[in-house]
Structure 1
């Protein structure tokens, strides 16, 4: 009889909170999204100027919803987003309206990448993307300082090399 080397991991809340600057990063994303939507509405309504009062009502509604999104979403996401790496798995919780908890056993990890977009650079943040063979896609840890992201990449790279399994 062969003995399994699989490690049991359970879905549980991760321990670590993202960096507080992530709220400002998410706020900037929300502001850009809201302004883009209002800009598109302005262009459409300026081309079709014979719509009467409808454009004003739609734009007002969009502005109010955009403002609510801008004020609520970043703080809500900050309360939900968590991460943790252990000897056996990567744990994340993310989202705000649709929340997701994920666990990726180290034996299933294929690649570990660090990413920094333009807005993340502006706020001094980074993200880590952990790719597995899962159909759900990669596990993402966003809103980290570059040092924390590099530490996670080093830890996961070192641990996955020592973990038996074929990452499929």
Structure 2
């Protein structure tokens, strides 16, 4: 059934769509857009709490997603099952479940949201959804890989925000 969904998405391909989703997926390569945003927020004193939450959330995500789950589940990618599809990007070398691009995106979004950001998370979720969809559009992830990435990301971002909130409260109490 998941291959059928991916095959239906293949019917959406256009030249403009191909270039757009290749660009979108590259923003998520190695979490680069989220790392850049984290650094930017860490530099800005009023935004530092959000940057710290993203940093911790992304670290938790990389451990859970790339360090544990991908190797534990060891799911073959859809492009390795249906080899008739010509990939528009380089063939990923790691396992399929969960989607690391999606997990990092939603770790960043959740960290922002749960740490109290009022604006940035809204733009981040739009980008996160586009990155997640791009992985199916480009035939490198199943829909359940995306769902798994969303869940891992939300968990990681939530925990990251709670750790940072706890640490900041503890520090404030020590300074009193």
TM-score, normalised by the number of residues in structure 2: 0.27
* Structure number with larger C-alpha Rg: 1
TM-score, normalised by the number of residues in structure 1: 0.28
More strand by share: 1
More helix by share: 2
Q: Which has the higher contact order (CA 8 A, sep 6+)?
A: 2
